[in-house]
Amino acid sequence: MLKIENLHVEVDGKPILRGIDLEIDAGEVHAIMGPNGSGKSTLAYVLAGRDGYEVTEGRVLYKGHDLIELAPEARAAEGVFLGFQYPVAIPGVSNIYFLKAALNAIRKHRGQDPLDAIDFMKLSKEKAALVQLPDDLTKRSVNDGFSGGEKKRNEIFQMAMLEPSLAVLDETDSGLDIDALKVVAEGVNALRGPERAMLVITHYQRLLDHIVPDVVHVLIDGRIVRTGNKDLAKQLEADGYAQVRDGMRP
């Protein structure tokens, strides 16, 4: 599904990612853990195609094709979804209208007819239930005045609606209390499937108690320094990143 080879990325001329290799197959959930400033969000943005993140070396293949040359909306249409760490508000645009426009833009790209209002409402009701998103939130302006937890639930709701092939979830646990975390994690787990790959980016191990990954990578200073199974996350939680970083030193 996703193959990252020797990826180097600069932001404002400053190297952030320095040679990432990563391969995720369909059906797998990978977690990326790392301290602040290690390049986790940069990786998420570069996969989604944000301006200002310059690939200086290496390549990213998605379903066998070069991902980097695609515009963000083309990537979305091809099934790349980014769950934002800080979802932005769009005042005056209803959440549900936004999503309908997005879904139908993606369907158009795929050569499908737009969903009509009735089918769309049916689908959105079903998916909103997945993350227990209250009805009024679907009608309110996109993320406008949402609490931290509501924003994150809304991200997972959007993911459920857009049914991506590759979902990158950037710090989906930040700002969530334990109950909200469970709801969000259950929503994510419900979307796991043999056709879908997920990359879960997190600072803390606790999210991974609820979304159990197949593979855990540790990202430090723009490089993946350790790769292991879910136990690696637990070990990190116990020992801290310093231990891993120290372990890197010759």
Partner 1 sequence: MSTATEPIDEILSKSYDAGFITDIEQEYAPPGLNEDIVAFISKKKEEPQWLLDWRLKAYRHWLKMREPRWAKVDYPEIDYQDICYYAAPKSKDDAPKSLDEVDPELLATYEKLGIPLHEREVLAGVAVDAVFDSVSVATTFRDKLSEVGVIFMSFSEAVHEHPELIRKYLGSVVPVADNFFSALNSAVFSDGSVVYIPKGVRCPMELSTYFRINAANTGQFERTLIVADEGSYVSYLEGCTAPMRDENQLHAAVVELVAHKDAQIKYSTVQNWYPGDENGKGGIYNFVTKRGLCEGERSKISWTQVETGSAITWKYPSCILKGDDSVGEFYSVALSNHRQQADTGTKMIHLGKNTKSTIISKGISAGHGQQTYRGGVKISRGATQARNYTQCDSLLIGDKCGAHTVPYVDVRNSSAQLEHEATTSRIGEDQLFYCRQRGLSEEDAVSLIVNGFAKQVLKELPMEFAVEAQKLLGVSLEGAVG
Q: Which amino acid is at 14?
A: K
Tell me which residue of 50, 53, 54, 48 sits closest to 2, measured CA to CA.
48
Q: Where in 211-250 is the site for partner 1 (CB under 8 A)?
A: none
DSSP state of 113: P
Does 123 engage in binding with partner 1 (CB under 8 A)?
Answer: no
Here's the x/- map for partner 1, 70-109, by CB under 8 A: it reads as -xxx-xxx---xx-x--xx-xxxxx-xxxxxxxx-xx--x
Residues 126-185 that bind partner 1 (CB under 8 A): 141, 158, 162
Residue with tokens 């600069």: 10
Instruction: Select from 3, 8, 18, 50 the one that contacts partner 1 (CB under 8 A).
Output: 50
Q: Cβ(127)–Cβ(161) under 8 Å? A: yes
Q: How far is the CB of 95 from partner 1 (least distance, A)?
A: 10
Q: Single out the segment in contact with partner 1 by CB under 8 A; choices: 24-32, 67-75, 200-208, 218-226.
A: 67-75
Strands (E), the chain: 2-11, 14-24, 29-33, 53-62, 65-66, 80-83, 90-94, 141-142, 166-170, 197-202, 215-220, 223-228
**249: closest CA among 227, 221, 229, 230?**
221
Specify the residue, 35 or 114, whose C-beta has the smaller distance to partner 1: 114
Stretch near partner 1 under the rule CB under 8 A, chosen from 49-57, 175-183, 198-206, 220-228: 49-57
Binding site for partner 1 (CB under 8 A): 11-12, 48-52, 71-73, 75-77, 81-82, 84, 87-88, 90-94, 96-103, 105-106, 109, 141, 158, 162
